[in-house]
Each structure stands twice: as structure tokens, then as C-alpha cells.
Amino acid sequence: SPPNSASGDCPGPAATPRIVLFPSAGMGHLVPFTRLAVALSAGHRCDVSLVTALPTVSSAESRHIAALSAAFPAVRRTDMDLRLAPFDASSEFPGADPFYVRYEALRRSAPLLLAPLLAGASALVADIALASVAIPVARELHVPCYVFFTASATMLSLKAYFPAYLDARGAGQHGVGDVDVPGVYCIPSSSVPQALHDPDDIFTRQFVANGRALVAANGLLVNAFEAMEPEAVAALHGGAMVAGLPPVFAVGPLMPVVKLGETGEEQGNYRAWLDAQPTRSVVYVSFGSRKALARDQIKELAAGLEACGHRFLWVVKGAVVDRDDAGELNDLIGDDEGFLQRVQGRGLVTKSWVEQDEVLRHPAVGLFVSHCGWNSVTEAASSGVPVLAWPRFADQRVNARVAARAGLGVWVERWSWEGEEAVVTAEDIAEQVAAVMGDEAVAEKAASVLEAAARAVADGGTSHRSLAEFVRRCRGGT
Ligand code: UDP
Ligand code: UDP
């Protein structure tokens, strides 16, 4: 291959592509962006810079950015001070989710703050939540703009189709029914992200604007792989759900690269505890980085884990933003009856950050009770740990269906999510956990998903080739 020029002053096919990555907010978006940054920088010798908006919403994000800089100084950071373009969220969107409010702040700041960062860039890769504002800024400067979709290919298909679905409904019609995504399959109304049922929700407005903008991008990257979502990837390639969709690059599952490191606040020493447990004996339970279960549901989950008879590692969260999560573990799980004492040794419960990817790769872990945030699903796929899916909000039911269809695990579709009254009972939880833990066929299928994921990202695999093709286009300036 041609030698790479280290400087930006030698354009042409041999030049090192200069790629600017622009994530939105929350670990669910930052984590795949840093994985992409390292894959492009270390794996494909691109000159990569990551735009970071400071201060971050959560402290996990700021620790993650620091860990990235320490481990991969070649990925340059371009810090953007959001105070330069303030907006008064509390009056416009009272009570809105702080991460969605941050998307909105970034969307309003982008024209002012992003343009100066694009001088000399070969390409901009913007987060899906910022697509409709980033594309015009890049276009104005003649910089190709790609959109990185951090969730499943199936969710991307729904997103690309959703504006057409709304338009076809006609004036005066409200509510969102089952959505039959052309070329993919029907997403039942009950699996459509809660917010999308309300046209005025801050998330819905962004979702629809970004969905309409996809056709204006130079290409779409998605952290998914063909073998896991064959219908959606094929439909995206063929533009089945919307005319004029640009090229789609399925580049997942992107591999973990940085750890947040010890924080001092870490409780319970989960690594040593895991090392002491037998192979495939532990149920790992986590609902992601940014949502807390209701207190009554936490109580049922505690009782369910106690009753299931298996060892467990449970990460409990008490707040949407980690900085607000100051309470004691006992109070959080309503432990006035000695639950923690009774499960001592068999169960480890923590409020702290755990290195989830490391946990999933640990031989002691046999099952992942997961909310099915897409990063969690990709990490389960690339470690071969079966999932018991318990989606809670947003795209998670769509992802749970993907996981179950692919053979990565089991989804109990009747289990409630946010906005539904029913509490899933301890008895039900214990029964399902025990059933899946005891099912050898589920474990075998999950292992075959791991094999498919490994093939996709290996040299010559579908995802490896897609990323190389994306880099080739950046080098050629398209
Ligand atoms: N994560 C982690 N430790 C935790 C909680 C979360 O490492 O204690 C990571 C997890 O591995 C994933 C990301 O944070 O990479 C969360 O993204 P996901 O899409 O799974 O869910 P979200 O938090 O966005 O709902
Ligand atoms: N999303 C989107 N458009 C937006 C914002 C988000 O398509 O304007 C997608 C996002 O990639 C994911 C889903 O909608 O598929 C839920 O978004 P959220 O930011 O809540 O992801 P989470 O933090 O839960 O992973």
C-alpha cells in the first residue's frame, strides 16, 4: 500500500485521512465513538480527532475521555466549551432527560463551535443525535459528512423509515401503531421507543429531524454486523426503507479499548470475587449507565436474585446521572430485612462502575440479565455470554428482539418497561433466570454468535472490509 504522509499538506490518494469524530452525550454514545477512534487511528493509520463537549454530563464520561487520552495520545482531543453557546433548557424542556437536553445543546452549538474544528478535515463523522445539524455545517465547508449510528442496524432501519411512516399516516392521525419496516420486519407498537408516541417530545423531534437528514449524509456507519442482523443490513444496503440512502458501512462489533481505571470509589472488589467463582456460575445483572429501576422493582429484583439459587453480580443504579447517585446501597435496595447479609458470598451487589466488558469475558459469568442497550448487546455478542433481555426504554425492545432472533439469548416479551404499571415479580424473575441458566442450548447458540462476531471483525471479515472501504473513501475525499 502507498506510504502515508504524516502531515496534512500532501493531499491525494496517499495522504493520511484526517477524520474528525463528533459524539453526542452519555456512555452509550461515547464508548462506541472511542472504539471507532482507536480502530481508525491504531488499526487504519488515520489522523483522528475527537470533539469533546465540556463539562460532560456524567463523571463516567469525563473519566473515559481521560483514560482514552492516556492510553491513545495519538487520538487528538478537541475540547469544545459549551458555555460559549448557552441555552436555557430548564424553561424550554422542563424535566427532560439530561442526556437529551445535552443533545439539544450540542445541536444548537454545532454551527458556531464545530465549523472551526473542520478546517483541513478529510471527513466528519457525526453522532446520529447530531446528524441534521452537523451535515449542513460540513457541507458548507466541503467536508464529507458521515453519520455514526451507535445502536442496532434494525433500529437504524426503523429510524430511516420513520419519517415516511409519519407522512403516510396523513393529517389528523395521531399515535404510532405497529411499524412494518420495508425489507426488515414489523416492529410492534409496544416496542417503539416510548418517546416516539409523543410528537412533541424532545427526543421525537430530534429523532425525526435526524431521520430525515440521513439521505443527505455521505455515508452511514453502524456498530453492527451482517451475520447478526441479516435483514436490516441487506435492507439498508438496498435502500429498501427510503430512496436515496447513502452507502452503509456495518463495522461492528467495535472492540473495547480503554478502561476507566480504578476510581477509589469502587466497592466490593468484584474482580477478586469473580476469580473465586466456578466457571459459568455467575449471573451478571446490569441495566446500563443511565437509568435507575423504580424502587419497588429493585425490591422484586433483589428477592428474585435471592430466590434463583445462583451466584450473581448485580450493578444497581439510583439515578440517571452518576453524579446524582449519592445514596447508600442499603437505602437504594430498601434493605431493611437483611438481604445483603443473607446473600453474602453468593451475591455481590455494587453501585460502582464495573468494567463490563471485562466482566463479560470472565469465565465465571454464565448469564447477562441486560437492559439491551446496544453496546451491552454487542459486548455480550463478542464474549458469547447469553442474554436474558429485560429492555426498559428507548431502542431496547428493538435490540432485545435482535438479540433473541440472533440466538444470543431469551427475551420475556411480557416483562414491563418504563411507562407500564406492572412490576415484574420476584418469582417470575427467579424462574426465568433459573431456566436460562440451566439451558445448554441457549449457551451453545450464544457461543455461535461469538464465532460470527469474531469472523466479522477478523481480517477479510464483513465488518473489517467495511471499515477499510470507509477509510478508502475518506482518503479519496468522498
Ligand atoms: N458500562 C460499564 N460499566 C457499568 C455500566 C456500563 O462498563 O457499570 C458500559 C457498558 O459496557 C457499555 C456502556 O457502558 O459499553 C453502556 O452502553 P449501553 O448501550 O449498553 O447502555 P446505556 O448505558 O447507554 O443505556
Ligand atoms: N437516537 C436516534 N436519534 C437521535 C437520538 C438517539 O436515532 O436523535 C437513537 C440512538 O442511537 C438509539 C436510540 O435512539 O438507537 C436511543 O437513544 P439514546 O440516546 O437514548 O441511547 P441510549 O443512551 O439509551 O443508548
Question: Residue 399 contacts by C-beta under 8 Å, 6 or more apart in sequence?
Answer: 151, 152, 154, 155, 372, 373, 374, 377, 389, 391
Question: Is the distance from the beta carbon of residue 49 to the nearest atom of ligand 1 less than 6 Å?
Answer: no
What is the C-alpha to C-alpha distance for residues 386 and 388, in angstroms, rounded to an integer?
A: 7
Give the residue among 394, 471, 407 at the shortest CA–CA distance from 445: 407
Question: Is the distance from the beta carbon of residue 101 to the nearest atom of ligand 2 less than 6 Å?
Answer: no
5 has a pLDDT exceeding 50: no
Atom of ligand 1 nearest to the CA of 353: 8
Ligand 2 atom 22: the closest Cα is on which residue?
A: 28
What is the C-alpha to C-alpha distance for residues 371 and 424, in angstroms, rounded to an integer?
A: 14
170 has a pLDDT exceeding 80: no
Q: Report which bound ligand comes closest to the CA of 31.
A: 1
Q: Please state the rounded mean pLDDT for residues 82-102.
A: 82
Cell output for 123: 471527513
pLDDT digits (tens, 9 = 90+) for 312-350: 999 998 888 887 877 888 888 887 779 999 999 999 999
Q: Please state the rounded mean pLDDT for residues 464-476.
A: 96
Beta-carbon neighbour count of residue 237 at 10 Å?
Answer: 15
Question: Is the distance from the beta carbon of residue 61 to the nearest atom of ligand 1 less than 6 Å?
Answer: no
Q: Output b/e per residue, 401-429; b: 16+ Cβ within 10 A.
A: bbbbebbbbbbbeebebeeeeeebebeeb
Is 357 noted as a catalytic residue in this protein?
no
11 has a pLDDT exceeding 80: no
By mean pLDDT, which of 143-147, 169-173, 433-437 is the weakest?
A: 169-173
What is the C-alpha to C-alpha distance for residues 350 and 284, in angstroms, rounded to an integer?
A: 11
441 has a pLDDT exceeding 80: yes
Residue 437 CA: distances (Å) to CA of 193, 287, 349, 421: 29, 19, 19, 28
Q: Report which bound ligand comes closest to the CA of 371.
A: 1
8 has a pLDDT exceeding 50: no
Ligand 1 atom 18: the closest Cα is on which residue?
A: 373
Question: Is the distance from the beta carbon of residue 212 to the nearest atom of ligand 2 less than 6 Å?
Answer: no
Residue 264 CA: distances (Å) to CA of 67, 268, 269: 15, 11, 11
Question: Is the distance from the beta carbon of residue 253 to the nearest atom of ligand 1 less than 6 Å?
Answer: no
Question: Is the distance from the beta carbon of residue 236 to the nearest atom of ligand 2 less than 6 Å?
Answer: no
Ligand 1 atom 21: the closest Cα is on which residue?
A: 373
Please give the distance, rounded to the nearest whole angstrom, from the Cα atom of residue 395 to the centre of ligand 2.
7
With the most atoms of ligand 1 within 8 angstroms of its CB, the residue from 370, 376, 385 to mutate is 376
By mean pLDDT, which of 46-60, 264-278, 385-399 is the weakest?
A: 264-278
3-class SS letters over the chain:
CCCCECCCCCCCCCECCEEEEECCCCHHHHHHHHHHHHHHHHHCCCEEEEEEEECCCCHHHHHHHHHHHHHCCCCEEEEEEHHHCCCCHHHHCCCCCHHHHHHHHHHHHHHHHHHHHHCCCCEEEEEHHHHHHHHHHHHHCCCCEEEEECCCHHHHHHHHHHHHHHHHHCCCCCCCCCEECCCCCEECHHHCCHHHHCCCCHHHHHHHHHHHHHHHCCEEEECCCCCCCHHHHHHHHHCCCCCCCCCEEECCCCCCCCCCCCCCCCCCCHHHHHHCCCCCCEEEEECCCCCCCCHHHHHHHHHHHHHHCCEEEEECCCCCCHHHCCCCHHHHCCCCCCHHHHHECCEEEECCCCCHHHHHHCCCEEEEEECCCHHHHHHHHCCCCCEEECCCCCCHHHHHHHHHHHCCEEECCCCCCCCCCCCCCHHHHHHHHHHHHCCHHHHHHHHHHHHHHHHHHCCCCHHHHHHHHHHHHHHCCC
| pTM of the model as a whole | 0.93
Beta-carbon neighbour count of residue 383 at 10 Å?
Answer: 22
Is 64 noted as a catalytic residue in this protein?
no
Q: Please state the rounded mean pLDDT for residues 436-465.
A: 97
Cell output for 280: 459459568
Give the residues across from 387 on adjacent strands: 368, 409
Atom of ligand 2 nearest to the CA of 210: 8
249 has a pLDDT exceeding 50: yes
C-beta of residue 36 within 8 angstroms of C-beta of residue 125: yes
What local confidence, expressed as pLDDT, does residue 95 receive? 85
32 has a pLDDT exceeding 90: yes
Question: Is the distance from the beta carbon of residue 381 to the nearest atom of ligand 1 less than 6 Å?
Answer: no
Q: What is the share, in percent, of the chain residues with pLDDT greater than 90?
A: 77
Give the residue among 53, 57, 150 at the shortest CA–CA distance from 101: 57
With the most atoms of ligand 2 within 8 angstroms of its CB, the residue from 203, 221, 396 to mutate is 203
pLDDT band at 9 (very low <50, low <70, confident <90, very high): very low
What is the C-alpha to C-alpha distance for residues 240 and 235, in angstroms, rounded to an integer?
A: 5
Question: Is the distance from the beta carbon of residue 379 to the nearest atom of ligand 1 less than 6 Å?
Answer: yes
pLDDT digits (tens, 9 = 90+) for 387-435: 999 999 999 999 999 999 999 999 999 999 999 999 999 999 999 999 9
81 has a pLDDT exceeding 90: no
Q: Report which bound ligand comes closest to the CA of 147.
A: 2
What local confidence, expressed as pLDDT, does residue 4 receive? 42
pLDDT band at 51 (very low <50, low <70, confident <90, very high): very high
Question: Residue 269 contacts by C-beta under 8 Å, 6 or more apart in sequence?
Answer: none
Question: Is the distance from the beta carbon of residue 398 to the nearest atom of ligand 2 less than 6 Å?
Answer: no
The catalytic residue among 29, 44, 310, 464 is 29
What local confidence, expressed as pLDDT, does residue 266 receive? 52
Please give the distance, rounded to the nearest whole angstrom, from the Cα atom of residue 56 to the centre of ligand 1.
16
12 has a pLDDT exceeding 70: no
Question: Is the distance from the beta carbon of residue 382 to the nearest atom of ligand 1 less than 6 Å?
Answer: no
With the most atoms of ligand 1 within 8 angstroms of its CB, the residue from 33, 375, 387 to mutate is 375
193 has a pLDDT exceeding 60: yes
Question: Is the distance from the beta carbon of residue 386 to the nearest atom of ligand 2 less than 6 Å?
Answer: no
Question: Is the distance from the beta carbon of residue 152 to the nearest atom of ligand 1 less than 6 Å?
Answer: no
C-beta of residue 4 within 8 angstroms of C-beta of residue 15: yes
CA 222 centroid distance within chain: 11
How confident is the prediction for the chain on average, in pLDDT?
A: 91
Please give the distance, rounded to the nearest whole angstrom, from the Cα atom of residue 409 to the centre of ligand 1.
18
Give the residues across from 219 on adjacent strands: 146
pLDDT band at 260 (very low <50, low <70, confident <90, very high): low
Cell output for 314: 448485580
Beta-carbon neighbour count of residue 459 at 10 Å?
Answer: 7
258 has a pLDDT exceeding 90: no
Q: Report which bound ligand comes closest to the CA of 261.
A: 1
Q: Please state the rounded mean pLDDT for residues 273-279.
A: 97
What local confidence, expressed as pLDDT, does residue 313 receive? 98
173 has a pLDDT exceeding 90: no
What local confidence, expressed as pLDDT, does residue 14 receive? 55
Ligand 2 atom 13: the closest Cα is on which residue?
A: 395
Ligand 1 atom 24: the closest Cα is on which residue?
A: 28
CA 201 centroid distance within chain: 21
What is the C-alpha to C-alpha distance for residues 397 and 378, in angstroms, rounded to an integer?
A: 15
The catalytic residue among 47, 97, 127, 357 is 127
Grid cell 415479580 — which residue? 425
Atom of ligand 1 nearest to the CA of 32: 15
What is the C-alpha to C-alpha distance for residues 151 and 207, in angstroms, rounded to an integer?
A: 13
Beta-carbon neighbour count of residue 249 at 10 Å?
Answer: 23
Atom of ligand 2 nearest to the CA of 27: 23
Question: Is the distance from the beta carbon of residue 391 to the nearest atom of ligand 1 less than 6 Å?
Answer: no
Q: Say how many Å lie between the first and final Cα of the chain, rounded.
A: 19
